[in-house]
Amino acid sequence: MTTPVVAMKGITRTFGSRSVLRGVDWQIDSGEVIGLLGRNGAGKSTLIECMLGLREMDPGTVMLFGEPAGDLSEAARARIGYVPQKSDLFDWLTPDQLLAYFRTLYPRWNEHKVEHLLGRWGFDAQARRQRIADLSGGQQQRLSIIRALAPEPDLLVLDEPVASLDPVGRRDFLRELVDDVIERGTTVLFSTHILSDLERIAVDVAFLKEGRIALQAPLDDLLESTRRVTGDPDALATLRLDQELGRVRHQDGAFSIVARLTPQESARLHAAPGVRIDPVSLEDLFEEVTR
Protein backbone atom coordinates (compact mmCIF):
# COMPACT_ATOMS: atom_id res chain seq x y z
CA MET A 1 0.00 0.00 0.00
CA THR A 2 1.45 3.42 -0.93
CA THR A 3 1.53 6.17 1.69
CA PRO A 4 -1.03 8.91 0.93
CA VAL A 5 0.45 12.32 0.22
CA VAL A 6 -1.99 13.91 2.69
CA ALA A 7 -3.88 12.11 5.46
CA MET A 8 -6.05 14.25 7.74
CA LYS A 9 -8.02 12.93 10.65
CA GLY A 10 -10.54 14.76 12.78
CA ILE A 11 -9.30 18.25 11.87
CA THR A 12 -11.14 20.73 14.00
CA ARG A 13 -10.65 24.48 14.19
CA THR A 14 -12.68 26.96 16.14
CA PHE A 15 -12.29 30.75 16.24
CA GLY A 16 -14.00 32.02 19.37
CA SER A 17 -17.49 30.57 19.19
CA ARG A 18 -17.28 29.98 15.43
CA SER A 19 -16.60 26.39 14.51
CA VAL A 20 -14.94 26.50 11.06
CA LEU A 21 -13.63 22.95 10.63
CA ARG A 22 -15.64 20.20 12.29
CA GLY A 23 -13.68 16.99 12.17
CA VAL A 24 -12.37 16.82 8.61
CA ASP A 25 -11.21 13.34 7.58
CA TRP A 26 -9.54 13.56 4.21
CA GLN A 27 -6.97 11.71 2.20
CA ILE A 28 -5.19 12.84 -0.95
CA ASP A 29 -3.32 10.20 -2.90
CA SER A 30 -0.31 10.61 -5.11
CA GLY A 31 -1.12 12.15 -8.50
CA GLU A 32 -4.61 13.37 -7.56
CA VAL A 33 -5.57 16.83 -8.81
CA ILE A 34 -8.30 18.31 -6.66
CA GLY A 35 -10.18 21.59 -6.88
CA LEU A 36 -11.34 22.71 -3.43
CA LEU A 37 -14.62 24.62 -3.53
CA GLY A 38 -16.69 26.35 -0.90
CA ARG A 39 -18.48 29.59 -0.20
CA ASN A 40 -16.59 32.62 1.11
CA GLY A 41 -15.68 31.91 4.70
CA ALA A 42 -16.31 28.16 4.40
CA GLY A 43 -12.81 27.49 5.75
CA LYS A 44 -10.78 26.58 2.66
CA SER A 45 -7.73 28.65 3.63
CA THR A 46 -7.98 27.45 7.21
CA LEU A 47 -8.09 23.83 6.01
CA ILE A 48 -5.10 24.36 3.71
CA GLU A 49 -3.10 26.05 6.46
CA CYS A 50 -3.90 23.24 8.92
CA MET A 51 -2.94 20.73 6.23
CA LEU A 52 0.47 22.31 5.78
CA GLY A 53 1.15 22.62 9.51
CA LEU A 54 0.98 26.43 9.31
CA ARG A 55 -1.89 26.84 11.74
CA GLU A 56 -2.53 25.36 15.12
CA MET A 57 -5.46 23.01 15.25
CA ASP A 58 -7.77 22.00 18.00
CA PRO A 59 -7.94 18.18 17.92
CA GLY A 60 -6.80 16.45 14.76
CA THR A 61 -3.77 15.00 13.02
CA VAL A 62 -2.25 15.64 9.60
CA MET A 63 0.37 13.46 7.98
CA LEU A 64 2.22 14.66 4.86
CA PHE A 65 4.17 12.00 2.98
CA GLY A 66 3.74 9.88 6.10
CA GLU A 67 5.26 12.47 8.46
CA PRO A 68 3.43 14.66 11.03
CA ALA A 69 2.73 18.03 9.35
CA GLY A 70 3.85 19.94 12.44
CA ASP A 71 7.22 18.22 12.55
CA LEU A 72 8.23 17.71 8.93
CA SER A 73 11.74 16.72 7.92
CA GLU A 74 13.62 19.09 5.62
CA ALA A 75 13.36 16.49 2.86
CA ALA A 76 9.56 16.31 3.10
CA ARG A 77 9.28 20.10 3.34
CA ALA A 78 11.26 20.46 0.12
CA ARG A 79 8.68 18.32 -1.68
CA ILE A 80 5.89 20.85 -1.08
CA GLY A 81 5.08 23.97 -3.11
CA TYR A 82 2.56 26.42 -1.69
CA VAL A 83 0.99 29.56 -3.10
CA PRO A 84 -0.90 31.26 -0.25
CA GLN A 85 -3.94 33.45 -0.77
CA LYS A 86 -2.16 36.42 0.77
CA SER A 87 1.36 37.08 -0.44
CA ASP A 88 4.01 35.87 2.00
CA LEU A 89 6.94 37.05 -0.11
CA PHE A 90 9.74 38.94 1.65
CA ASP A 91 8.66 42.17 0.08
CA TRP A 92 11.74 44.17 0.96
CA LEU A 93 13.76 41.97 -1.43
CA THR A 94 13.78 42.09 -5.24
CA PRO A 95 12.51 39.09 -7.27
CA ASP A 96 16.10 38.13 -8.17
CA GLN A 97 17.15 38.26 -4.50
CA LEU A 98 14.11 36.29 -3.35
CA LEU A 99 14.61 33.52 -5.90
CA ALA A 100 18.35 33.38 -5.14
CA TYR A 101 17.50 32.92 -1.46
CA PHE A 102 14.99 30.12 -2.05
CA ARG A 103 17.33 28.41 -4.51
CA THR A 104 19.69 27.70 -1.59
CA LEU A 105 16.93 25.97 0.42
CA TYR A 106 15.86 23.32 -2.08
CA PRO A 107 17.84 20.32 -3.26
CA ARG A 108 15.91 20.42 -6.53
CA TRP A 109 15.51 23.79 -8.22
CA ASN A 110 14.75 24.15 -11.90
CA GLU A 111 16.59 27.32 -12.91
CA HIS A 112 15.62 26.85 -16.54
CA LYS A 113 11.94 26.88 -15.56
CA VAL A 114 12.47 30.00 -13.41
CA GLU A 115 14.11 31.92 -16.26
CA HIS A 116 11.49 30.72 -18.72
CA LEU A 117 8.57 31.77 -16.51
CA LEU A 118 10.15 35.09 -15.53
CA GLY A 119 10.55 35.88 -19.22
CA ARG A 120 7.09 34.70 -20.19
CA TRP A 121 5.38 36.46 -17.32
CA GLY A 122 6.82 39.89 -17.98
CA PHE A 123 9.68 40.17 -15.49
CA ASP A 124 12.09 42.29 -17.48
CA ALA A 125 15.48 43.37 -16.13
CA GLN A 126 13.92 46.34 -14.37
CA ALA A 127 11.10 44.37 -12.67
CA ARG A 128 13.59 41.76 -11.49
CA ARG A 129 15.52 44.45 -9.63
CA GLN A 130 12.54 46.30 -8.20
CA ARG A 131 11.44 45.87 -4.58
CA ILE A 132 8.69 43.22 -4.41
CA ALA A 133 6.62 45.65 -2.32
CA ASP A 134 6.50 47.94 -5.37
CA LEU A 135 5.29 45.23 -7.79
CA SER A 136 1.58 45.01 -8.65
CA GLY A 137 -0.63 42.43 -6.92
CA GLY A 138 -0.70 40.31 -10.09
CA GLN A 139 3.11 40.44 -10.45
CA GLN A 140 3.50 39.38 -6.81
CA GLN A 141 1.13 36.48 -7.40
CA ARG A 142 3.09 35.39 -10.49
CA LEU A 143 6.31 35.52 -8.49
CA SER A 144 4.73 33.46 -5.74
CA ILE A 145 3.72 30.85 -8.34
CA ILE A 146 7.22 30.79 -9.85
CA ARG A 147 8.71 30.29 -6.39
CA ALA A 148 6.33 27.38 -5.73
CA LEU A 149 6.94 25.68 -9.10
CA ALA A 150 10.73 26.08 -9.21
CA PRO A 151 11.55 23.20 -6.80
CA GLU A 152 9.35 20.85 -8.89
CA PRO A 153 7.28 19.89 -5.84
CA ASP A 154 5.57 16.54 -5.47
CA LEU A 155 2.68 18.28 -3.70
CA LEU A 156 1.53 21.66 -4.97
CA VAL A 157 -1.04 23.55 -2.89
CA LEU A 158 -2.54 26.71 -4.37
CA ASP A 159 -4.96 28.92 -2.47
CA GLU A 160 -6.81 31.02 -5.05
CA PRO A 161 -3.68 31.37 -7.15
CA VAL A 162 -5.24 33.32 -10.00
CA ALA A 163 -7.33 35.82 -8.06
CA SER A 164 -5.12 38.78 -9.06
CA LEU A 165 -4.13 37.59 -12.53
CA ASP A 166 -5.46 39.13 -15.72
CA PRO A 167 -7.18 36.75 -18.20
CA VAL A 168 -3.97 36.20 -20.18
CA GLY A 169 -2.01 35.48 -17.01
CA ARG A 170 -4.68 33.04 -15.86
CA ARG A 171 -4.74 31.17 -19.12
CA ASP A 172 -0.97 31.01 -19.16
CA PHE A 173 -0.82 29.73 -15.61
CA LEU A 174 -3.42 27.05 -16.32
CA ARG A 175 -1.48 25.97 -19.38
CA GLU A 176 1.65 25.63 -17.27
CA LEU A 177 -0.31 23.65 -14.69
CA VAL A 178 -1.80 21.25 -17.22
CA ASP A 179 1.14 20.85 -19.61
CA ASP A 180 3.89 20.60 -17.09
CA VAL A 181 2.92 20.19 -13.45
CA ILE A 182 0.03 17.74 -13.82
CA GLU A 183 1.73 15.98 -16.72
CA ARG A 184 4.64 15.19 -14.37
CA GLY A 185 2.29 13.43 -11.93
CA THR A 186 2.38 16.14 -9.25
CA THR A 187 -0.34 15.96 -6.61
CA VAL A 188 -2.25 19.25 -6.78
CA LEU A 189 -4.79 20.84 -4.46
CA PHE A 190 -6.11 24.17 -5.48
CA SER A 191 -8.90 26.34 -4.19
CA THR A 192 -10.63 28.70 -6.58
CA HIS A 193 -13.89 30.53 -7.15
CA ILE A 194 -13.35 30.52 -10.91
CA LEU A 195 -15.28 27.42 -11.87
CA SER A 196 -14.44 27.62 -15.57
CA ASP A 197 -10.78 27.13 -14.61
CA LEU A 198 -11.62 23.86 -12.93
CA GLU A 199 -13.51 22.71 -16.00
CA ARG A 200 -10.40 23.32 -18.11
CA ILE A 201 -8.30 21.14 -15.87
CA ALA A 202 -10.79 18.26 -15.56
CA VAL A 203 -10.06 17.29 -11.98
CA ASP A 204 -11.73 15.92 -8.93
CA VAL A 205 -13.71 18.51 -7.06
CA ALA A 206 -14.16 18.59 -3.30
CA PHE A 207 -16.79 20.79 -1.66
CA LEU A 208 -16.18 22.15 1.84
CA LYS A 209 -19.42 22.82 3.66
CA GLU A 210 -20.28 23.22 7.31
CA GLY A 211 -16.75 22.33 8.30
CA ARG A 212 -16.48 19.05 6.40
CA ILE A 213 -15.79 17.74 2.90
CA ALA A 214 -19.43 17.35 1.89
CA LEU A 215 -18.78 15.78 -1.50
CA GLN A 216 -15.78 14.73 -3.56
CA ALA A 217 -15.91 13.21 -7.01
CA PRO A 218 -14.33 13.43 -10.46
CA LEU A 219 -15.80 16.52 -12.08
CA ASP A 220 -16.71 14.72 -15.32
CA ASP A 221 -18.59 11.97 -13.44
CA LEU A 222 -20.35 14.52 -11.32
CA LEU A 223 -21.58 16.58 -14.26
CA GLU A 224 -22.54 13.48 -16.19
CA SER A 225 -24.60 11.93 -13.40
CA THR A 226 -26.17 15.03 -11.81
CA ARG A 227 -29.55 16.24 -13.05
CA ARG A 228 -32.19 18.77 -12.07
CA VAL A 229 -35.56 17.04 -11.79
CA THR A 230 -38.49 19.45 -12.08
CA GLY A 231 -42.17 18.67 -11.85
CA ASP A 232 -45.38 18.69 -9.92
CA PRO A 233 -44.59 19.69 -6.30
CA ASP A 234 -46.93 17.08 -4.80
CA ALA A 235 -45.43 14.22 -6.81
CA LEU A 236 -41.82 15.26 -6.23
CA ALA A 237 -42.25 16.10 -2.54
CA THR A 238 -42.39 12.41 -1.68
CA LEU A 239 -39.71 11.34 -4.17
CA ARG A 240 -36.56 10.03 -2.49
CA LEU A 241 -33.36 9.69 -4.52
CA ASP A 242 -30.19 7.99 -3.36
CA GLN A 243 -27.79 10.89 -3.80
CA GLU A 244 -29.81 14.02 -3.47
CA LEU A 245 -27.82 17.27 -3.38
CA GLY A 246 -30.64 19.75 -2.85
CA ARG A 247 -34.32 20.49 -3.31
CA VAL A 248 -35.90 23.87 -3.91
CA ARG A 249 -39.46 25.16 -4.06
CA HIS A 250 -39.33 28.02 -6.59
CA GLN A 251 -41.28 31.26 -6.31
CA ASP A 252 -43.50 30.31 -9.27
CA GLY A 253 -44.61 27.20 -7.37
CA ALA A 254 -42.42 24.77 -9.33
CA PHE A 255 -40.37 22.26 -7.38
CA SER A 256 -36.98 20.85 -8.31
CA ILE A 257 -34.54 18.34 -6.94
CA VAL A 258 -30.86 18.22 -7.88
CA ALA A 259 -29.40 14.76 -7.49
CA ARG A 260 -26.84 12.33 -8.82
CA LEU A 261 -28.99 9.78 -10.60
CA THR A 262 -28.27 6.09 -11.01
CA PRO A 263 -29.14 4.73 -14.49
CA GLN A 264 -32.20 3.04 -12.93
CA GLU A 265 -33.43 6.27 -11.31
CA SER A 266 -32.85 8.12 -14.55
CA ALA A 267 -34.90 5.58 -16.55
CA ARG A 268 -37.68 5.65 -13.95
CA LEU A 269 -37.89 9.45 -13.95
CA HIS A 270 -37.77 9.72 -17.74
CA ALA A 271 -40.82 7.46 -17.85
CA ALA A 272 -42.72 9.48 -15.23
CA PRO A 273 -45.38 11.84 -16.64
CA GLY A 274 -44.91 15.59 -16.09
CA VAL A 275 -41.31 15.29 -14.94
CA ARG A 276 -38.51 17.24 -16.64
CA ILE A 277 -34.88 16.22 -16.38
CA ASP A 278 -32.14 18.71 -17.23
CA PRO A 279 -28.35 18.68 -17.02
CA VAL A 280 -26.73 21.07 -14.53
CA SER A 281 -23.68 23.29 -14.81
CA LEU A 282 -20.84 23.33 -12.31
CA GLU A 283 -22.22 26.66 -11.08
CA ASP A 284 -25.62 25.01 -10.40
CA LEU A 285 -23.87 22.20 -8.60
CA PHE A 286 -21.86 24.61 -6.50
CA GLU A 287 -25.03 26.43 -5.51
CA GLU A 288 -26.86 23.24 -4.54
CA VAL A 289 -24.03 21.54 -2.67
CA THR A 290 -22.97 24.61 -0.73
CA ARG A 291 -26.47 25.95 -0.08
Ligand X SMILES: Nc1ncnc2c1ncn2[C@@H]1O[C@H](COP(=O)(O)OP(=O)(O)OP(=O)(O)O)[C@@H](O)[C@H]1O
Give the count of beta carbons closer than 10 Å to the beta carbon of residue 146: 24
Query: Residue 85 Cβ, how far from ligand X at the closest point, in Å?
Result: 6
Q: Please, what is the minimum distance in Å from the beta carbon of residue 280 to ligand X?
A: 22
Please tell me whether residue 240 adopts helix, strand or coil conformation.
Answer: coil
Distance, in Å, from the CA atom of 88 to the CA atom of 226, rounded to the nearest integer, reads 39
Name the minimum Å distance from CB 272 to ligand X. 39
Alpha-helical regions (H) of the chain:
44-51, 74-77, 95-103, 111-120, 125-128, 137-149, 167-176, 195-201, 219-225, 233-237, 263-271, 282-290
Residue number with CB closer to ligand X (212 or 268): 212
20 touching ligand X, by CB under 6 A: yes
At closest approach, how far in Å is the CB of 36 from ligand X? Answer: 9
* Distance between CA atoms of residues 49 and 59, nearest Å: 15
User: How are strands ordered across the β-sheet holding 6-15?
Assistant: 18-28, 6-15, 61-64, 67-68
Q: How far is the CB of 40 from ligand X (least distance, A)?
A: 3
Alpha-carbon dihedral angle through residues 287, 60, 65, 177, given to the nearest 10 degrees: 20
Q: Binding residue for ligand X (CB under 6 A) from 35, 43, 84, 161?
A: 43
Count of residues of this chain found to bind ligand X when the rule CB under 6 A is applied: 11
Contact between 38 and ligand X by CB under 6 A: the answer reads yes
Tell me 177's DSSP state.
Answer: I
Residue 160 beta carbon to ligand X: minimum distance, rounded to whole angstroms: 6
Query: Does 41 engage in binding with ligand X (CB under 6 A)?
Result: yes
Q: If binding is defined by CB under 6 A, does position 17 make contact with ligand X?
A: no
Rule CB under 6 A: is residue 42 a binding residue for ligand X?
Answer: yes
Identify the CA nearest to 194 among candidates 42, 37, 83: 37
Identify which of residues 51 and 64 has a Cβ nearer to ligand X in the complex.
51
Contact track, ligand X, 53-92, x by CB under 6 A: --------------------------------x-------
Residues forming the site for ligand X (CB under 6 A)? 15, 20, 38, 40-46, 85
